[in-house]
Every structure is written in structure tokens, then in C-alpha cells.
A and B are shown apart, each in its own frame.
Chain A
Amino acid sequence: MIRRLLALTPAFALTGCGGAQSVLDPASDQAASVFGVWTLMLWICGIMYALVLAFLALAIWRARRGLAGPPLAEGQKSPADRPLLRWLTGWVGLVVAGLLVLTFGSFLVDRQLAMADQRNALTVRITGYQWWWRVEYDDPVPSRRFVTANELHLPVDRPVRLELEAGDVIHSFWVPNLSGKQDLIPGRTNRLLVTPRRIGQFRGQCAEFCGLQHAWMALDVTVEPQTTFAAWAEAQRRAPPAPATAQAVHGRDVFVGAACNSCHQVVGQPAQGQTGPDLTHLASRRSLAAGARPYSRTALDEWLKNPQALKPGNHMPLVKMRPEERAALVAYLDTLK
């Protein structure tokens, strides 16, 4: 029984390795290459570790047996010296060979990443702020560019060139399923190429400590078929529908009349603030406040009630409004699909 449980333990441990935020579940060419190097390293280091333990056990066993023999005289060589020298030479050879395989393996993968096919690449500019992501889809036609926040949609099987920038402090872009980490440095642009190969929903996370809410600086990543992506991008370029109900119209007036519009933008409305996340299609997103809560009207209401309670220290102030004003605002924001 115990033996069976012991055999099952590694299997249980491995179930934690898949998922939406895992290096061990690659969904792009780049992540697959890095995963290849990682697997190679795991095998080489695992075998070396097992060998070290085996030799240690052997040495302990031999030493206990060897104590039984007569003691060595002055100047007499131990009969174990020659085989020991032979073993140690072999050991050095093994270490050198293992390191060479790892060096060449990482060199080849590095070359492969640097020489990846960039033709027909989509360009997305990602800017890190405390504590959210601004995502801008580039296009040769300026009117077809659009901005969203905390959400990255990518077409499958098409290379994407990510241009990474920072608006305040150093952040780090890390979507484990798609690529390794890349820092976002204020004042310079870092580039990262990703070619997604598997459709799915993944999670990115800031990987460089950037302040109080660093942990709640997540990025929802969706890899989807090219036609779905094109439809999504077209929808993002359009302004959201004008508010239809009386409550939503009131909510729009609250949004434009209270402090909201000094930081947030909603395309098609006189709200052009650029310091906070773009809210044009807020209600179509998966989460609120950079992954702090899954999107829902109740979560939105809770957030507006006091942003400092849900995500203490963040840069959105509590804006005073009456309960009916807040309800109207939530109703309006919920129409931004």
C-alpha cells in the first residue's frame, strides 16, 4: 500500500506542472525551444545527481568493509588508489561532456530564437505601468491602431513582435507558456518575438518587483484562430455602442462629469485621459484591475466602491459618488463591450 502511494506521489506532483501559467506547458515555438533546453538540463543534472548518490553509497559500503582488513604500513600504497584514480578521471570526463552538451544545446536554441522567421509579423507595443499593462496594436494605417489594457489577444501560427516599454519603473514581461522573461526598462524599447502554436488562454505576470501591487499585475493572454483574432481586432477598433437605457446614459454622464475621464479613455466619448487603463471595451475583458478579480458587475461595483480596499496602494483614488450614481456608472461600464 505504502509502496503504491510512493509510486503515485511523483504523478501527483506532475499534475501541478500544466496550466495557464507554466513553463512546462509550452504553447509557442520559443517556449518549446526553451523547454527543450530545460528538459536536457533536467536529464543531465538528474543523471549526475543519481550517480553522485550511488558513488557515495558505494563508498560508505566499501569503507565499512575495508575497516575489517589489516592496517596499512608506513609508505605502503592502498590497493584502492589505482581504481580510484581511474574512476576520478572518468568522472572529470563525464562532467566536461555534460557541460559541453548543455553549452551547445543552449547555443543552438539561442541561435534558433535569434533567427526565427519574422515575416508577416504582428507588432504589439506593451507598456508596463504601476500596476497594469497598456497594450497597443500597431498597424501601418494609423487609424487602424488600437489600444487595450491588461489583455493580449494573439493569432495562432503568426509571429508577433512585442515591443516592451515601461512608463514608470522597471517591470518584466513574463508569459511562461509563450516565452522567457524580458524586462521593461523606462526609456528604452526591448523586443521579444513570439510565435504561438496552440490555441488557449494563458496568464502573464510581472516578474520584476515594481512596488506594492506587483503581485496583482497580471496579463490575460488569449491565443485564438486567425479569423477570430481578426474579428476581435475589428471589434476593438470600433467605438462601443452609445448607452441605450436611461440608467446607462446617467452613468455615462457620471463618467464624463466626475473624475473618471481625467485618467481613463473611452473612444467615442469626451473622455480622453491617458494616465489610466483604456476602458473602451472594458466589459469584454476577462478580468478587472490587472487580474485582481474576474470581470463581473458585482466585482466592478466592489472595485468602484473603494479601489484602495481591493488593491491597496494602487493609483486609482476613491471618487466620491452617491450609491445611485455608482449603480448607473456600473450599468454604463457594463455596456462597453
Chain B
Amino acid sequence: MTSRVAAFGAVLLCLAACQRETRALTGQAAPSAPAVAPGELRAGGGLASPPVDPAGAAYEGNAFEISEGQRNYDWFNCYGCHGAGGGDIGPALMDDEWRYGGAITQIRASIADGRPNGMPSFRDKLTDRQLWQIAAYVRSMSGRADKLAASSRNDEMRTTPPTNQARPGPEQSDTSGGEVRR
């Protein structure tokens, strides 16, 4: 009798794990923090007062969003300037040097608003969700994303190792206020 109850309990416990992540294919992201005025930028030192958006954490730790970010990175031609992460006419993204801050909120702001000396603004080209996804992928390039969420396999042939093998170096940017706390 006891063993039967134990078996039943074990089955119930197993079933508790049967939850599948729901992927919002059409869902819109929650409205993000307001744009950063160029006057607030400080090259090399991040933002004077980086806005923190708690929405970022959900993208940073989610494998689906990071891989969608990788597809968006290809589709919207981030390659054109940043290469596969090693940089070209744009700065490298796989090292740990962040001119405008390495927190996901700051990376998202850089993509959305553009930055001096060549980075265009993508606010009108990308949906809010796509901005977050690309920011999450860019962060994963330098090994900053959750190891379980970062991709172990690139979609296409790359010169760079898979993002879950990227080793974060000493981060050289001011993320003191921008880091999303979990």
C-alpha cells in the first residue's frame, strides 16, 4: 500500500515538470524605457544615468529570444559593419569593451537610438521585441548570457565559436547602474 502511494506520488511529481515554455509569436513587448538623449552619453563610460528596464531580464535568459536575436542580427544586416562579432568598420561585439555600456538595457538603447560615428538608429526599422532580441544576442556573443540559454550551435558557418563557449573577460565598461538585477 505504502509503495503504491509512493509510486503515485512520484508520477505526480514527474507530471509537475511537464510544463512547456509558451513562445509568443505575435506578442508585443511591453513598452520600453524612454529614449536616451545624446547629451546623456559619455563615450567609454556608459550612460550618466542608465535607465534600467526590468523587461531585459526575460530576454537575456531565454534561449528562444537569443536565437531569434541571432536571426534578426543576420536579417537586418548587423553583419555589414560588425561582422560575425569580430567587428569590421563597426566595433567588435564579442569582446568585453562597451563604449556605451554592456547591460542589455544599454545595448538595446544603442541599437534603438544609434550612436555617434556611424551607428544608425533602428527604432523605426525594428519592433521593440526585435530590439530586445538582438540586444540579448549581442550580449551572448561575449559570453554574458546565461550558459543554458546561449546557443551551442550556430545557424550557419561562422568564424567564431558558439556563444555558449564564449569566455567573458574582465568587463570594461560602467554598468553599475545599468545591470539588470535578478
- Give the B-binding residues of A (Cβ under 8 A): 259, 262, 306, 308-309, 312, 315, 317-320
Q: Which residues of B, 46-91, contact A by the 8 Å Cβ criterion?
A: 71-72, 75-77
Closest chain A residue to B26, Cβ basis: A309
B158 within 8 Å of A (CB atoms): no
Is A320 touching B25 in the complex (CB atoms < 8 A)? no
Most buried by B among A262, A309, A317, A319: A317
CB–CB A259/B71 < 8 A: no
CB pair A320–B26 under 8 Å, yes or no, is no
Stretch at the interface among B9-17, B92-100, B120-128, B163-171: B120-128
| A318 contacts B76, C-beta separation under 8 Å | no
B110 within 8 A of A: no
Q: Which B residues from 21 to 48 make CB contacts under 8 A with A?
A: 25-26
**Does B142 make an interface contact (CB < 8 A)?**
no
How far apart are the CA atoms of A259 and B77 in the complex, in Å?
10
Residue from the list B26, B76, B127 in contact with A259, Cβ < 8 A? B76
Return chain B residues, CB-CB under 8 Å to A320. 124-127, 130
Of all chain B residues, the one with the shortest Cβ separation from A275 is B75
What are the residues of chain A within 8 A of B71 when measuring CB–CB?
A: 315, 317
For residue A262, which residues in chain B have a CB less than 8 angstroms away from its CB? 77
Q: List 10 A-B contacts (CB under 8 A).
A: A259-B76, A262-B77, A308-B26, A309-B25, A312-B25, A315-B71, A315-B75, A317-B71, A317-B75, A320-B124
Inter-chain CA distance A315–B156, complex, in Å, is: 13
Quick one: which of B77, B124, B127 contacts A318, CB cutoff 8 A? B127
A306's partner among B26, B72, B77, B125 (CB-CB below 8 A) is B26
A317 touches B25 (CB 8 A): no
B interface with A by C-beta (< 8 Å)? 25-26, 71-72, 75-77, 124-127, 130
Closest to B125 in A: A320
Task: Say whether chain A's binding surface is mostly helix, strand, loop, or mixed.
Answer: loop
- Kindly state the separation between the CA atoms of A259 and B72 in the bound complex, as whole angstroms: 12
Residues of B within 8 A of A312 (CB): 25
CB distance from B75 to the nearest CB of A (A): 4
Please name 8 further chain A to chain B contacts, defined as beta carbons within 8 Å, in addition to the given A259-B75, A259-B125, sorted by A numbering.
A306-B25, A306-B26, A308-B25, A309-B25, A312-B25, A317-B72, A317-B76, A320-B127
Per the bound structure, the CA–CA distance linking A318 and B72 in Å amounts to 9
Residues of A within 8 A of B26 (CB): 306, 308-309
Residue of B nearest to A310 (CB): B25
State the Cβ distance, B24 to closest chain A Cβ, in Å: 10
A315–B72 Cα gap in the complex (Å)?
10
Inter-chain CA distance A102–B88, complex, in Å, is: 64
Taking CB atoms, residues of chain A closer than 8 Å to B25 are 306, 308-309, 312
For the complex of A and B, list the 9 residue pairs with the smallest distance between their C-beta atoms, beginning with the closest. A317-B75, A309-B26, A309-B25, A320-B127, A308-B25, A306-B26, A312-B25, A320-B126, A320-B125
Chain A residues closer than 8 Å to B76, beta-carbon distance: 259, 317
Give the CA-CA distance A317 to B134 in the complex, in Å.
13
Report the minimum CB–CB distance from A111 to chain B (whole Å). Answer: 43
**Nearest Cβ distance between residue B121 and chain A, in whole angstroms?**
13
In the complex, the answer to whether B130 meets A318 with C-beta atoms within 8 Å is: yes
Complex CA distance for A306 and B75, rounded to whole angstroms: 15
Residues of A close to B125: CB separation below 8 A: 259, 319-320
Chain A nearest CB, measured from B27 CB (Å) = 10
Q: Bound state CA distance, A319 and B124, in angstroms?
A: 10
Within the complex, the shortest CB–CB distance from A179 to chain B, in Å, comes to 33
Contacts of A318 in B (CB 8 A): 127, 130
Complex Cα–Cα for A176 and B130 (A): 41
User: Which B residues are in CB contact (< 8 Å) with A308?
Assistant: 25-26
A79–B158 alpha-carbon span in the complex (Å): 78
Q: Which of B25, B71, B76, B125 has the most CB of A within 10 A?
A: B25
For residue A306, which residues in chain B have a CB less than 8 angstroms away from its CB? Answer: 25-26
